[in-house]
Amino acid sequence: MSTSCLTSGLLYLLLAPLIGGLIAGLDRIISARMQTRVGPPIWQPFYDVCKLFSKEHLVVNRSQTLFVFGLFIFMIITGLLFFTGYDLLLVIFAFTLASILLILAAYKAGSPYSFIGAERELMQMMAYEPMVLLVPIGIYMVTKTFSVAEIVKYETPLIYYLPGVFIGLLHILTIKFRKSPFDLSSTHHAHQELVKGLTTEFSGPSLALIEITHWYENVLLLGIIFLFFAPIPWVGVLAALLIYFLEIMIDNSFARMKWEFLLKSSWWMALVFGGGNILLLMLLKR
């Protein structure tokens, strides 16, 4: 492993919580301004996490803690695999495993709210996983490699070859960022009829770890967006920031949809845009 890859991994490990927390703070401020409110200070997410760590650790089931800790570790591992340039398929599989651990933790709580939240999270996974798998497949068809380190070095921005895959990815990012209209299982807003959905029965340090894990996850997702513009780094960073701003606008502009719309829209986006883009690449390479 090269020194640059090790440095990237170390930077992700140390800076991702800081960047993710700042993004969460900006999210709150921008959302508040869109609703003609002032909003909390940008450091509020860090204050909230510190307060959670200071509270007593209460759990309904002891295995909850194990699953939450596993979620945290696997999300860090996923990010390290990505930012150190490892296999993109391995990154996707580790990413999925981390999501499954959160669902198992919610099931273990024994709460009806947590249980329904976990059921909805499984439904969301059914919605976004096909498109998630099409992303590395499309990238491989262009670059002939799954290695993130080699993909970043590709001479032409992937967006030129994979616009359909990118559009499909944008659709499922609304689910992964937990934004309306697809925040079925959990949300950072107060309108969720399931209270906090699959995280209802978590509190104190466990809830703090889940929040920090979400910060790591958001930075990883922004890194995947950057991958499509990697040959021009400043464009990649700008695209990632603009897309997150777009997600905030969508979050504050649409009411939450039913699960039927979530599944149908996600599968159609994967089929039409993701599958169509890959089919076109296959035809052009003949």
Contact 265, 171 (CB under 8 A): yes
- pLDDT tier at 3 (50, 70, 90 boundaries)? confident
Is the confidence at residue 193, as pLDDT, over 70? no
Of 5-19, 138-152, 193-207, the range with the lowest mean pLDDT is: 193-207
Residue 175 has what pLDDT? 92
pLDDT tier for residue 71 given thresholds of 50, 70 and 90 = very high
The b/e string for 25-38 (b: 16+ C-beta within 10 A; e otherwise) is: bbbbbbbeeeeeee
**Percent of the chain surpassing pLDDT 90:** 59
Q: What is the DSSP string of 34-91?
A: HTT-----TTHHHHHHHHHHHS----SSHHHHHHHHHHHHHHHHHHHHHHTT-BHHHH
Q: pLDDT at residue 192 above 70?
A: no
In the chain, what percentage of residues exceed pLDDT 70? 95
Mean pLDDT of 160-173: 94
- Does the predicted model carry a pTM greater than 0.75? yes
Q: Which residues have CB under 8 Å from 214's CB, separation 6+? A: 20, 24, 178
Instruction: Give the number of domains in the chain.
Output: 1
Of 75-79, 190-194, 218-222, give the lowest mean pLDDT range.
190-194
Mean pLDDT of all residues in the chain? 88
Given this model, what pLDDT does residue 107 score? Answer: 85
Helix axes 163-176, 259-269, angle to 10 degrees: 160
- Mean pLDDT to the nearest integer, 272-276: 94
Question: What's residue 37's pLDDT?
Answer: 87
Query: Which amino acid is located at 98 in the chain?
Result: A
Domain range for 170 is 3-284
**Residue 225 above 80 pLDDT?**
yes
**Phi and psi, residue 87, nearest 5°:** -65, 130
How does pLDDT run across 72-131, given as a tens digit for each residue?
999 999 999 999 988 999 999 999 999 999 888 888 877 778 888 888 889 999 999 999
Please give the radius of gyration of the chain, using alpha carbons only, rounded to the nearest integer: 19
Residues 6+ away with beta carbon under 8 Å from 261: 181
pLDDT at position 141: 93
Distance CA 215, CA 182 (A): 19
Q: Which residues contact 163 (CB under 8 A, 6 or more apart)?
A: 277
